[in-house]
Amino acid sequence: MMITGPLLVLGTPNSFHPTNRYFKAVTNPTFSWFAYASLMIGVHLPVPHQFIMNHPWAHTYCEVGLYLLLPYLFYFNLLNRNLVGRRVTPAMSVISLFLMMVPETLTGFFIYTAPGSLYHNMYSLNDQRIGGSFMWAGAMIIDAIWMAFAVFHWIKSEEKKSQDMDAEIAAGNDK
């Protein structure tokens, strides 16, 4: 989720500018943040997890599709390479990515610190803790990478604003 979504966004052609109302609604920054966080937490809750493990079709046709779609929708506005006409400011991109660390890392933390198996002894407690620690630490590392990318875009957008302002001042002095 945390790798495929951003890579799909970064691989989206620069000419892709959908005007569809549905696409604009599902890429709404607030909606996509909550949808992504809900998926992240939801699939790790014991009941949905048990259902997915007991019904392979749910994993194949629902979970995998959601793992591709929702991260794409979330990262679509945040890692957009277009510095003009963005729906989310570069600063808000960094803040949104930072806030997404909360559900991602807390999910791993609670899986790791659970006193017993959360998944009806589907995994040993040691395996569950290893998985939780990978999710907890891994999420922080991956998020730091995407945040660095967003900060880079923020710096670039500020440079562009500065250059535009310098050009405007220079044009005013030439008169």
Q: What is the pLDDT along the chain (175 residues), one digit of tens a residue?
A: 888 989 998 888 878 878 889 988 998 889 999 999 999 999 999 899 889 989 999 999 999 999 999 999 999 888 866 645 567 888 888 999 999 988 988 888 888 898 888 888 778 888 889 988 888 888 889 989 999 988 998 898 888 888 888 888 888 776 6
Tell me the whole-structure pTM to 2 decimals: 0.82
* Torsional class of 143: left (φ above 0), alpha (ψ -120 to 50), beta (otherwise): alpha
